[in-house]
Amino acid sequence: MTSTSETSGSGRAVGADLERADARAKVAGQAPYAFEHPVENPCYAHAVLSSVPRGRITSVDTGAACREDGVITVLTYENAERLASTDDAELAILQEPEVAFHGQIVGAVIAETPEAARHAASLVRITYATEPHESELKPDENELYRPDSANGGADTDSMLGDLDAAMEAAAADPEAVALDETYVTAMTHCNPMEPHATIAVWQGDELTLYDSSQSVHGHRDTLAEVFGIDRGRVHMICPYVGGGFGSKGEPHAHAVLAALTARAVPGRPVKLALTRQQMFTLVGYRTPTYQRVRLAAGADGRLTGIGMDAVEQTSRIKEFAEQSANPTRTMYAAEHRRTTHRLAHLDVPVPSWMRAPGECPGMFGPEVAMDELAERLGMDPVELRIRNDAPVAPETGKPFSSRNLVACLNEGARRFGWHGRDPRPGVRRDGRWLVGTGVASSAYPVNRVPGSVAAVQYVGEGRYRVDIGAADLGTGAWTVLAQIAADRLDVPLDAVELRIGDTALPKATVAGGSSGTAMWGSAIVAAARTFRERHGNDPSPGDHAQAETPGNPHAERFAMHAFGAQFVEVRVDADTGEIRVPRLLGVFAAGRIINPRTARSQLVGGMTMGLSMALHEETVTDPRYGLLVNHDLANYHVTANADVRSIEAHWIDEDDPYVNPLGIKGIGEIGITGTAAAVVNAVRHATGVRVREVPVMLDKVLNGMS
Amino acid sequence: MKPFRYERATDAEHAVATVAAHPGAAFLGAGTNLVDHLKLGITAPDLLVDVSRLPLDEVAETADGGLRVGANVRNADLAAHPAVRARYPVLSQALLSGASGQLRNLATTGGNLLQRTRCAYFQDPSTPCNKRDPGTGCAALEGWTRYHAILGASSHCVAVHPSDMAVAMAALDAVVVTLGPDGERRIPVTDFHRLPGDAPHRDTVLRHGELITAVELPGLPWATRSRYRKVRDRASYAFALVSVAVALDLEDDGRTVREARIALGGIAHKPWRAERAEQALRGLPATEENCRTAADAETADAHPLRDNAFKIPLVRNTLAAVVRDLVPETPSGSLEGAR
C-alpha cells in the first residue's frame, strides 16, 4: 500500500498515554465554565416557557413579576427588541405571539439575583388561545412527508436493484429467509452535566458571549446574523465545556435570549442558565424512530436484499431530519437495496444533534435484524456479519480507504471468548440470573468539514503558541491538539502553549461529526509545516504562520468510514426481568489514535451512552399536553456505574493513508453505534425474549418471559 | 422560589410552637426534597424552621428490646448502625437501596418519612394535580403511570409514596413519635401515611406544626430473618417500581411460616402493609407457590393503570424471590437452569 501521509514529526507526543491537559484545573474547580466567568455587576435572566403546545398568546400580565424585589424588567413578545433575522424559527424568540411547542421561550425576567429572576418568572401570567396539536410520533396516524435531504446532506432515499423482488424471491425459497420487522428507538436527550448557559455583554453594538459551546465561531456567525451585526463585532469565549453530545453544536434559543435580555439592560452583563427541565425543550434531542428493516438472505447467509425505511419526527417550525437510514447504505453487501427517510411535522420542540445522529439509531434496527436473521439461518451472528462484509461501498462502488469490520469482529470475538457460544436462547442460568451474550457491528463515517485555520507563533525561549478556535467538550482537544503540534513542530510537548475556545483565535469548525481532531489537527499540521518552511528551525520571537485544513485529494476516490464490533454479556433476573451488564467489550478500527487515554475515555463514554439507550433513556411525551413528562434526571434515567461491571474498549492498529495527513478517523461517536443492538441481542440470548424497541425496561422482558 | 424567612430551631417545643402559630410555616430537615419543591414552585412557605440541628440524632435501646431512632439520624448512619444491621436487616437494606450515597448522608429519618411523591405531574406545576393544587384534577390518571399505584388509589390521585425506609418500617410495625402543640403522639407507621381518597394533598396524618421526634422499632427477635428487595430498571439511584420487605418467623421445621410481616413499596400512596398476604402464608410452608398465591391475594383488588399492569406479576415474583432468599432450602424458580 502506498502511503501519501506524512511522517508524524518526532512521534514523541502523538500516541503517548498522557493525562488531560485540563484535568487538574477541572478537578480543582479552576476551569471556568460558561456561567462562571467573572463579569462586572451582572444581572440574571430566567426564561419563561410556554405551557401549551400550540396556540397564540392572548394576554400577558407581568405586573406581579415586576413588583417583586430585585426584578429589573420582564421581556415578552410585546416589548422585546425585533431581531434582524427571524429565518431560523427556533431562534426567533419573543417576536410573535404564536406558540409552536410546550416549553418554548415566551418571556424572560431580568433581576438582580438568579433566585429573584426565577421566582418572578413563575409569576408572569400568560394566557393562550390554544389550537389543536399533534405531539406524538405515530407512523400510522401522522401525515408523513419526504424531506429534501437528511442531516449532514444525506440523501433522503436510495434505491438499487429491486428489493421487493428480492424479498419475494427469498420468501418463496424454503432455504432462504425474508425478514421484515419494525424496530423502535425512543426520544432521547443529551443531558450534559453542565447545563446550557450564556453570559451576554453588550458594549455599544459589540457583543461578547461566554457560552457553553461546541463551536465558538459557528455560534458567533449565527448570532451575528440574528442580531444583524458584523461578525467581527461578536465575540464568543468558551475554554471549557461540561459535555455537549451535540446539544451545544448549534446555538439554541437561550443564547439569543441572553443577548436579547442584555440589550434591555444597557451597561450590564446578563447571566442566563437553563434549568435541567428547560433543557428538555430548548436544546434539541434525538427524535424517536420507527425503522422497518427488511433483509433477504440465501441459505448461505449472503444478503440479496437490504431495506431500511425510517420514520421520524421534526418540529413544525424547523426541520431536522435524522439520517437514520444512512448506515444501512454502507454496512453490508447486497444487490437489492432501498433506504428512505420520512418525517412527521409535529408540535414538538426542535430536534437536533445527539451523539452520532442517524448513525446511532440507524445501527439499532438493522443490527438486531441481523441477529434475528442469524438465528433463523442457524448461523453464528459474527460469521453472518463477516460473510456479508462489503468489499466496496455498496451504493457507490467506491473502494474503502480502509475497512476493518471483519478484523474488529474477529478480535472482539477472541477477546470476549465468543467462540463455542451455545446459540440457544434462554438456557443459561446462574442462580437467579439468566445469562446471555450478544454482538453487533459499529460504524461511523469520516466526516470532512472544511474551514479550520491554525496559527503558530514563536514566543521565544523555545516556546510556541498554537492558536485555533477549537472546542474541548471534555473530549481531550486541549491535550491531543498540543500533542499534534509538538510533534509537527518537533518540540517537546511542554514547549507548546495551546489556546482554543475563543473567536479571537483563528476560525475552527464545530466539535461535531467526530471531525474535530482530524480537521483542527490537519490545520495545525499545515500551520506547523508553513511555519518551518518560512522560519526554519531557529525562529525569532514573533515569527508566525497560519494555515487552513487542506482539502483531501482522495475524497472522491474512496469511501471513508470507521468500523467496530461490540460484544455484551447480560444477566437478566429470572423473577423481575431486571437487566444488568457484567461485560461490555468493543473493538474499533478508527485510524490513528493520538492519545490512548483520552481515546479510551471517548470510546467507553460512547459505549456507556449506547448502553443507556439500550436500557434506560426515554423521554416520555404526554400527547394531551404536548409535554415531555419526565424532564429531570430523577425520571429520565441515564445508565450509572452500578449497571455495568466491566467496559473495555480496544482498537486495532489501522494505518489509513487517505483520510487525512494524520490518519485520524474520529472516535467521538462510533462507540455509541451498535451498542444498543448488542444489548438487545444479548437479552434475547439470555431470556428467549426478542425485544424490538429500546429502551428495554424490565416489563418488556417480564411480559415475554411469563 | 418565593422569598421566605428562615429560623434555626434550638429546641423542639419552640420549633413546634413557632410552626403551629404560623399557617405558612414549614419544618426544614436536610432539605433534600423540600428545597427541590421550593425551586420548582410546588410549595411556597413563607417561613422555614430548620430542625436539622435539634439534638434528635441518637439511636437508643428501648425497654422492649427495640430501638428508638431520633428523627435527625441520617439515613446513612441508620443503615450502618450495628444494631440495625444485626436485628433489622430489612431496614438497613431498605435504607441503602434509597437515593444515592450523597443524599443518604444528608437525609434524616423524619424527613425520609415525609418525602413526597415523585409523580412527574406533581412535580410539574404546568399540569393539573390534586396533591399540589387541590381541585385541579389528576394528570397522571390517564397519563404516564409506570411509577404509579395499583392499590388504594382514587380518582383524585394515583401517586405512590417514594420511601424505601418506610416500607421496611411498615413491616416492622414501627411507631412514629411526634411532638405537637398538644404534646406527644405515638402513631403506628402503618397509620401514619394516608391513602389519597378525596384529599390527596394530605400525605400523612400529621397536623400543622406537629414534628416527628423519633421512630421506635419494636423488639422483634425474628426480624433477623428479614430482607428488602427493590426492583428497578437502573441498578442505583432510582425509585422502586416494586419493592418488598419481608420478615419471617418460621416453625422449628425451618419451613413453615409461624408469622410473616410483609410490606410493599412502589404500588400505593403509602407503604403498603400486605396483611392479606401475611394471612395467606401463615401456617403454610414458605414455598414459591404459596408465596405467589399470597401475593395474588394481596393484589386481588389491584387497579392497574395504562403503564403499570406489570406490577401485579412483579409483586408476585418478587415476594416469591425474597422468601426464597430467606428460606434457602425452598426449591428454586420455575425456569430451568441448564448450565
- What is the pLDDT at residue A4? 34
B255 domain residue, yes or no: yes
A319: closest CA among A142, A88, A513, A620? A88
Nearest residue of A to residue B230 by CA position?
Answer: A576
**Given the C-alpha cell 401525515, which residue does it identify?**
A143
B285 domain residue, yes or no: yes
A616 and B335: CB-CB below 8 Å?
no
Residue A574 in contact with partner chain B when CB distance is under 8 A: yes
**Given the C-alpha cell 514566543, which residue does it identify?**
A459
Contacts of B231 in chain A (CB under 8 A): 576, 578, 698
A622 and B3: CB-CB below 8 Å?
no
CATH number reported for the structural domain that contains residue B288 in this entry: 3.30.390.50
Q: Which of B126, B142, B144 sits opposite A620 (nearest CB)?
A: B144
Q: How far is A579 from chain B (nearest CA, A)?
A: 7
B300 domain residue, yes or no: yes
B241 and A698: CB-CB below 8 Å?
yes
Q: How far is B309 from chain A (nearest CA, A)?
A: 9
Q: What is the mean pLDDT of residues A40-51?
A: 98
A69 and B3: CB-CB below 8 Å?
yes
A630 and B2: CB-CB below 8 Å?
no
CB B288 within 8 A of CB B334: yes
A588 pLDDT higher than 60: yes
* Residue positions of A annotated with a catalytic role: 669
Q: How far is A122 from chain B (nearest CA, A)?
A: 8
Nearest residue of B to residue A427 by CA position?
Answer: B338
Q: Where are the domains of chain A?
A: 23-31+449-548, 385-445+558-706
A627 and B124: CB-CB below 8 Å?
yes
- What is the pLDDT at residue A57? 98
Measured CA angle at A637 (ends A636, A642), to 5 deg: 165
Sign of the torsion formed by the C-alpha atoms of A184, A186, A187 and A191: negative
CA A671 to chain CA mean position, Å: 11
Q: How far is A139 from chain B (nearest CA, A)?
A: 20
B143 and A429: CB-CB below 8 Å?
no
A574 and B335: CB-CB below 8 Å?
yes
| CATH placement of domain A23-31+449-548 | 3.30.365.10
A639 pLDDT higher than 70: yes
Residue A494 in contact with partner chain B when CB distance is under 8 A: no
A3 pLDDT higher than 70: no
**At what angle are helices A698-705 and A675-687 packed, to 10 degrees?**
30
A5 pLDDT higher than 90: no
**Given the C-alpha cell 476493518, which residue does it identify?**
A404
Q: What is the mean pLDDT of residues A120-134?
A: 98
Q: What is the mean pLDDT of residues A103-114?
A: 98
A596: closest CA among A451, A423, A480? A480
Residue B338 in contact with partner chain A when CB distance is under 8 A: yes
Query: Please, what is the end-to-end C-alpha distance for chain A in angstroms?
Result: 56
With a CB cutoff of 8 Å and minimum separation 6, the contacts of A115 are B1, B3
B332 domain residue, yes or no: no
Look up residue B92 and give its three cell numbers.
Answer: 438497613
* B positions 170-209 inside 8 Å of A (CB): none
Mean pLDDT, rounded, of chain B: 95
Neighbours of B20 (CB within 10 A): 17
- What is the pLDDT at residue B2? 87
Neighbours of B5 (CB within 10 A): 12
B234 and A635: CB-CB below 8 Å?
no
* A positions 631-660 inside 8 Å of B (CB): 631-632, 634-635, 637, 639-643
CB A214 within 8 A of CB A352: no
CATH class of domain segment(s) A385-445+558-706: alpha beta
Contacts of A102 in chain B (CB under 8 A): 126
* B positions 220-239 inside 8 Å of A (CB): 231-239
Domain A23-31+449-548 and domain A385-445+558-706, same fold? Reply is yes
B338 and A428: CB-CB below 8 Å?
yes
- What is the pLDDT at residue B147? 97
Nearest residue of A to residue B1 by CA position?
Answer: A119
pLDDT tens for chain B, 339 residues long, are 889 999 999 999 999 999 999 999 999 999 999 999 999 999 999 999 999 999 999 999 999 999 999 999 999 999 999 999 999 999 999 999 999 999 999 999 999 999 999 999 999 999 999 999 999 999 999 999 999 999 999 999 999 999 999 999 999 999 999 999 999 999 999 999 999 999 999 999 999 999 999 999 999 999 999 999 999 999 999 999 999 999 999 999 999 999 999 999 999 999 999 999 999 999 999 999 999 999 999 999 999 999 999 999 999 999 999 999 999 764 444 333 333
Contacts of B326 in chain A (CB under 8 A): none
B45 domain residue, yes or no: no
| Tally of structural domains, chain B | 1
B244 domain residue, yes or no: yes
Neighbours of A553 (CB within 10 A): 9
Residue B314 in contact with partner chain A when CB distance is under 8 A: yes
Interface pTM, i.e. ipTM: 0.95
Residues in a beta bridge with B25: B47
B231 and A698: CB-CB below 8 Å?
yes
Contacts of B118 in chain A (CB under 8 A): 634-635
Q: What is the mean pLDDT of residues A10-30?
A: 91
* A positions 182-241 inside 8 Å of B (CB): none
Q: Which of B39, B235, B336 sits opposite A642 (nearest CB)?
A: B235
Q: Which of B126, B142, B232 sits opposite A627 (nearest CB)?
A: B126
- Probe site for chain B from A428, A615, A629 (most B CB atoms < 10 A): A629
- What is the pLDDT at residue A11? 60
A684 pLDDT higher than 70: yes
Q: What is the pLDDT of residues A652-670, one digit of tens each?
A: 999 999 999 999 999 999 9
Confidence of residue A526 (pLDDT cuts 50, 70, 90): very high
User: How big, in percent rounded to 5, are the helix, strand and coil portions of chain B?
Assistant: 30, 20, 50
Contacts of A642 in chain B (CB under 8 A): 234-236
Contacts of B321 in chain A (CB under 8 A): 432, 575-576
Contacts of B313 in chain A (CB under 8 A): 702, 706
Neighbours of A646 (CB within 10 A): 10
Instruction: Please report how many Cα atoms fall inside a 13 Å half-sphere around the Cα of residue A330, on the Cβ side.
Output: 28
- What is the pLDDT at residue A10? 52
Neighbours of A1 (CB within 10 A): 7
Residue B121 in contact with partner chain A when CB distance is under 8 A: yes
- What is the pLDDT at residue B328? 74
**At what angle are helices A253-264 and A216-227 packed, to 10 degrees?**
50
Nearest residue of B to residue A65 by CA position?
Answer: B2
A575 pLDDT higher than 50: yes
Mean pLDDT, rounded, of chain A: 96
B123 domain residue, yes or no: no
- What is the pLDDT at residue B330? 43
- Domain limits for position B312: 226-326
Nearest residue of B to residue A424 by CA position?
Answer: B338
* B positions 236-265 inside 8 Å of A (CB): 236-239, 241
Q: How far is A259 from chain B (nearest CA, A)?
A: 24
Contacts of A632 in chain B (CB under 8 A): 123
Measured CA angle at A477 (ends A475, A482), to 5 deg: 145
Give the number of A-B residue pairs with CB atoms closer than 8 Å.
115
Residue A102 in contact with partner chain B when CB distance is under 8 A: yes
Contacts of A276 in chain B (CB under 8 A): none
- The span from the CA of A326 to the CA of A150, in Å, is 9
B111 domain residue, yes or no: no
Single-letter residue type at B237: Y
CB A464 within 8 A of CB A457: yes
Residue B331 in contact with partner chain A when CB distance is under 8 A: no
Contacts of A706 in chain B (CB under 8 A): 313
With a CB cutoff of 8 Å and minimum separation 6, the contacts of B4 are B38, B44, B45, B46, B47, B48
Neighbours of A148 (CB within 10 A): 8
